[in-house]
Amino acid sequence: MKICTHLAEWRALRGSPEWAGLSVGFVPTMGALHAGHEALLARARAENERVVLSVFVNPTQFNDPADLARYPRTWDADVALAHPYVDAVLAPPAEAFYPDGYRYRVTENSLGTQLEGAHRPGHFDGVLTVVLKLLNVVQPHRAYFGEKDWQQLELVRGMVAALLLPVDIVPCPTTRDADGLALSSRNRRLSPQARTLAAAFPRALRTAPTAAAALTTLRAQGFAVDYVEDRDGVRLGAVHVEGVRLIDNVRL
């Protein structure tokens, strides 16, 4: 496994004879890897001859600087988890991806302004911009995204289609703990008591007869709720517990 911290180093590897003509699978992440990321990497390993992981905490998708500062960084553990699956790790500094100071960006003016976009202004501009840059740099044949981030997945699919990018976006099922909570890098910030309460979040999404009923149940249980909505056969929600923001979705 080769670790590339400079784009020129990565481009030299990508253009080398040992990568020529081989299928490339790509898993973009912000690090703090867990079993959900591992499932994406395992899928990419099974379906491609080369696998690339990016570890980049993207500053432009955080509308709250304090949230960016608190985001967990676990580099050594990330490298250890990735090692059995990955041929190369791309981990450049922020200035490598934003030499323009983020003057140029990707904006989607419909779905990207709703749900997460309504509660985190500018979030999806940052997500789509960095994903476009990563796809341009990595040049994968397939890129793997978890279905937990349903809205992100839909927007990335739409961008790839709109901008005619030659890559297949592969959706992967949400990985959950035994009590049903979707795995997330943010979960490690929960106290034991909050972690126990958090398991009620997906349970309410799954069992409530309507989105409004799920919202009422979650508030009664002590969650601060940003939204619960049904879209295209999927119930989506975002809540806060102990100041930690969690998102999830379930198929109806």
Candidates 249, 221, 229; CA nearest to 118 is 229
Dist CA 141 CA 229 (whole Å): 33
What domains lie within the chain, and their CATH numbers? 2-172 (3.40.50.620), 185-251 (3.30.1300.10)
- Whether residue 119 lies in the annotated active site: no
Tell me the CB-side half-sphere exposure of residue 199, using CA atoms within 13 A.
Answer: 10
pLDDT band, very low/low/confident/very high, at 16 (cuts 50, 70, 90): very high
Average pLDDT over residues 177-188: 96
pLDDT tens-digit readout, 183-197: 999 999 999 999 999
Determine the pLDDT at residue 237: 98
- Do strands 244-251 and 142-146 pair parallel, antiparallel, or not at all (unpaired)? unpaired
Determine the pLDDT at residue 63: 87
pLDDT tens-digit readout, 130-172: 999 999 999 999 999 999 999 999 999 999 999 999 999 999 9
Cβ–Cβ < 8 Å for 25, 50 = yes
Of 6, 34, 37, 141, the catalytic one is 37
Strand partners, 142: 25, 168
pLDDT band, very low/low/confident/very high, at 71 (cuts 50, 70, 90): very high
- Residue type for position 79: V
Dist CA 70 CA 54 (whole Å): 20
CB proximity list for 55: less than 8 A, separation 6 or greater: 29, 30, 31, 75, 78, 89, 90, 91
Percent of the chain's residues with pLDDT above 90: 98
Give the mean pLDDT of the chain: 97
Average pLDDT over residues 9-34: 97
